[in-house]
Amino acid sequence: MKKTVFAVLLALLWLVSVASAAELKVGAKVGPMSLKDADGKVYTLDSAPYAGKVIAVYYTVKKDEAFSAQLEKANIDRKTYEPMAIVNIKDISMPNFVLKKAIKTEQDKIKSPILLDDNYTLVDAWGLNKKAYNVVLIDKSRVCRYIYRSPDVLVPAVEGAKLIALIKEYQAK
């Protein structure tokens, strides 16, 4: 009898946790998150260099070179904006130590943290797509202002322009 009650309680607890993990929507407050970079340093939405800034979260398994170039040309003021690159390492078929070394090299090159999600932390918390390209724009008050989910790695130019315009708009607020 005790085993049955325990099993039922576990099933109910699991159902409650699944139901509470809602997909992030535009206009909703973004919940707290915490991820590490390749060096093991922990970052949150409110730690340096992200504190008080508009944040564009780029969650991917591969860098989008075309959109990166489009973003570079936009010449966005970094005083009030910070990109947050997050690599979904769970879906990359490469040994973690090799992947982390490559990410560390890129992180040192761009002089900006590259965070690692090895357990679908944001996929589960924000409803992002696995093995895909996701962009989430978060304003200074930590409200989601834009979400782009794609099965491809590429952000179409029109979406890139829309995102850049929104970054500039929320920087001014």
Structural domain contains residue 8:
no
Domain total of the chain: 1
Work out the burial of residue 84: count CB atoms within 10 Å of its CB; fewer than 13 is exposed, 13-18 middle, 19 or more buried.
buried
The enclosing domain of 111 has a CATH number of 3.40.30.10
The structure tokens listed for 110 are 């761009």
Closest CA relative to residue 163, chosen from 45, 71, 73, 61: 71
Structural domain contains residue 50:
yes
Structural domain contains residue 72:
yes
Structural domain contains residue 16:
no
Structural domain contains residue 131:
yes
Structural domain contains residue 137:
yes
> Domain span at residue 100?
23-171
Structural domain contains residue 151:
yes
pTM of the predicted model as reported, rounded to 2 decimal places: 0.83
pLDDT in tens, the chain (173 residues): 544 433 333 343 343 333 345 699 999 999 989 999 988 999 999 999 999 999 999 998 777 888 888 988 998 998 999 999 999 888 888 888 898 899 999 888 888 899 999 899 999 999 998 888 899 999 999 999 999 988 877 888 899 999 999 999 999 98
